[in-house]
Amino acid sequence: MRETSRQILYMGVRVAKYQQLVEQLRTQIEARIWPPGEKLPSLRQQAEQSGLSLMTVMHAYEVLESQGWIVSKPQSGYYVAPRAAESRPRLPTREVAKTDQADTNSFVFDVLQATRNPAIMPFGSAFPDPELFPQRQLMRSLVKVSHNLKPTDALNNLPPGNEALRKILAQRYAQQGITLSPDDIVITNGAMEALNLSLQAVTEPGDWVILENPSFYGALQAIERLKLNAIAIASDVEHGMDLAELEQALQRWPVKACWLMTNRQNPLGFTLSAERKQQLVALLARYNVAMIEDDVYSDLYEGQDKPLPAKAFDREGNVLHCGSFSKNLVAGFRVGWVAAGRHAQRVQRIQLMSTLSTSAPMQLALADFLSTRSYDAHLKKLRQTLAKRKQLAQQALRRVLPEAARISDTPGGYFLWVTLPAQINTTQLYHLALQEGISIAPGQLFSSSEGFSHCFRFNTAWPWDARAEAAVETLGKLIAGLHR
């Protein structure tokens, strides 16, 4: 990007270009992105990275040197001054620590592995009952396209992905009044790849990213893997992310991206109002921060009208909207997408250098299935079944939980968020329940802090029968034992 086209705003105030770079580097030094003694990018490297001219970067470095933040070494370059960050202020929330994250990764693996055992009651699973999916129709589509596969199909379905599938997705966006070109959409290996590619497209190692607290554990893992710094903003079942706290973080730190869910958030389950989504998009646009919108549960709503994604209010091209068929149609195909807009080319390049592409037969099979009316008929039936099972699960839990316990009562999706009395540790409960053949998703999975250690997520998408009732009864007895 050329310097003449750059946004000249920092923390909402119009400033000179060199001042913007001075503030950015000073904030990064305070945050120890550039610790004392660390060599800064050369003038030429900084100019290339920032899009500023060489003279503008030189002026910024000279200002930082005069203020004692950096020092120049002849024939070597610029370095952070040894005492530059001694008065570093306390972070509003803590960085995701590597040791904590390693433990979290191991724990996530253990929880997910436990749900694969058919002898375990999978209340801790992230997926709905696969028996709810139209397996036979999907297999017919897969067999049909397999018989017609041509040698060129592998090449034709490289990023951005199958053209017919991207057109169908663009048409489904259009049904909600969202105008997107098929060229804005990149097909991915499930939603996790869409989310990770989006994050890579808008950040570099060391950048700051905002997450919800609590948030989907995949976001915490992605932050660690890409060597990013996380700022966790408190979110609640009623209002979602605290916008005042969000703006404070945007003013204080050079945030590059915000990863969040606006529809049926995992694990809390809330859906933001259209007004709230609009405010969120406008706030992030004001600070030129990309929003990575995880919207994998978008079709699992209650009622007649599908809630709009935050993408619907995006006028600046800041929202990368990620979706998937894994939660509402078929988990095994591993097909997702990102409506990346102006970031689509960069997302494609990163995908080509990592996973290369999404399976051509799976893309073709989905395009074939989605071209019929079967998908919407399936979704309608799926939503009705999930709503009924969720109601039954909630009633069963209320019968066995302590009076002080709270259950999130949010429409749509298939998760309940249960808050137990503070003295009950749900990680301990998880291990006890597993011995009884029951899995839950303890609060530890969804935050790097200890603030949700008395909470757990409960999957309601499985058949509600005598086995499920007995498992809930057992769970209640275990909780009662920990509550004494």
Q: What is the pLDDT of residue 110?
A: 74
> Mean pLDDT, the chain, as a whole number?
86
Residue 9 — very low, low, confident or very high, per pLDDT cuts 50/70/90?
very low
If asked whether residues 113 and 261 sit together in one domain, one would say no
Would you say 441 and 124 are in contact if contact means Cβ atoms under 8 Å apart?
yes
Q: What is the pLDDT of residue 6?
A: 34
If asked whether residues 338 and 427 sit together in one domain, one would say no
**Where does a domain end: 342, 375, 408?**
375
Residue 104 — very low, low, confident or very high, per pLDDT cuts 50/70/90?
low
Lowest mean pLDDT among 50-64, 122-136, 314-328, 372-386: 50-64
If asked whether residues 123 and 151 sit together in one domain, one would say no
Q: What is the pLDDT of residue 83?
A: 65
Determine the average pLDDT of the residues in 283-309: 95
More confident residue, 26 or 438: 438
Query: E-strand spans in 39-138?
Result: 70-73, 77-80, 121-122
**Where does a domain end: 348, 375, 402?**
375
CA 222 to chain centre: 9
**Domain housing 122:** 100-130+380-483
Residue 92: inside a domain: no
User: Tokens 């009651």 identify what position?
Assistant: 121
Q: What is the pLDDT of residue 332?
A: 79
pTM over 0.75: yes
If asked whether residues 317 and 418 sit together in one domain, one would say no
Residue 7: inside a domain: no
User: What is the rounded (10 degree) CA torsion for 25, 26, 29, 34?
Assistant: 20
If asked whether residues 169 and 287 sit together in one domain, one would say yes
Q: Which of 292, 299, 240 is nearest to 271 (CA)?
A: 240
- C-alpha span between 335 and 362 (Å, rounded): 7
Determine the average pLDDT of the residues in 382-397: 97
| Burial class, 234, CB count within 10 angstroms (exposed 0-12 / middle 13-18 / buried 19+) | middle
If asked whether residues 268 and 346 sit together in one domain, one would say yes
User: Tokens 């589509």 identify what position?
Assistant: 141
If asked whether residues 61 and 104 sit together in one domain, one would say no
Residue 105: inside a domain: yes
**Where does a domain end: 375, 407, 440?**
375
Determine the average pLDDT of the residues in 152-162: 79
Q: Is the pLDDT of residue 91 over 90?
A: no
Q: Is the pLDDT of residue 94 over 50?
A: no
Residue 41: inside a domain: yes
If asked whether residues 206 and 341 sit together in one domain, one would say yes
- C-alpha span between 243 and 312 (Å, rounded): 19
- C-alpha span between 109 and 365 (Å, rounded): 30
**How would you label 347-365 residue by residue, b for 16+ Cβ within 10 Å and e otherwise?**
bbebbeeeeebbebbbbbb
Number of separate helices (H) and strands (E) present in the chain: 16, 18
If asked whether residues 311 and 400 sit together in one domain, one would say no
C-alpha distance from residue 466 to each of 121, 415, 462 (Å): 12, 20, 12
If asked whether residues 21 and 120 sit together in one domain, one would say no
Written as one letter, the residue type at 453 is S
Residue 89: inside a domain: no
- C-alpha span between 120 and 390 (Å, rounded): 19
How many domains is the chain partitioned into structurally?
3
More confident residue, 62 or 167: 167
State the pairing for strand pair 240-241/229-236.
Answer: antiparallel
CATH code (residue 67): 1.10.10.10
CATH code (residue 421): 3.90.1150.10
Give residue-wise pLDDT tens across range 237-266.
Answer: 888 999 999 999 999 999 999 999 999 999
Q: What is the pLDDT of residue 87?
A: 41
- C-alpha span between 405 and 400 (Å, rounded): 10
Structural tokens at position 119: 């002898």
State the pairing for strand pair 455-459/229-236.
Answer: unpaired
- C-alpha span between 257 and 196 (Å, rounded): 12
Residue 87: inside a domain: no
More confident residue, 376 or 86: 376
Residue 171: inside a domain: yes
Would you say 193 and 353 are in contact if contact means Cβ atoms under 8 Å apart?
no
Give residue-wise pLDDT tens across range 182-196.
Answer: 999 999 998 999 999
If asked whether residues 385 and 328 sit together in one domain, one would say no
Q: Which of 15, 27, 103, 109 is nearest to 59 (CA)?
A: 15
Q: Is the pLDDT of residue 77 over 60?
A: yes
Q: Cis bond leading into 254, ω under 30°?
A: no
Written as one letter, the residue type at 71 is V
Q: Is the pLDDT of residue 93 over 60?
A: no
Would you say 260 and 291 are in contact if contact means Cβ atoms under 8 Å apart?
yes
Q: Is the pLDDT of residue 11 over 60?
A: no
CATH code (residue 305): 3.40.640.10
- C-alpha span between 32 and 85 (Å, rounded): 7
If asked whether residues 213 and 120 sit together in one domain, one would say no
Residue 435 — very low, low, confident or very high, per pLDDT cuts 50/70/90?
very high
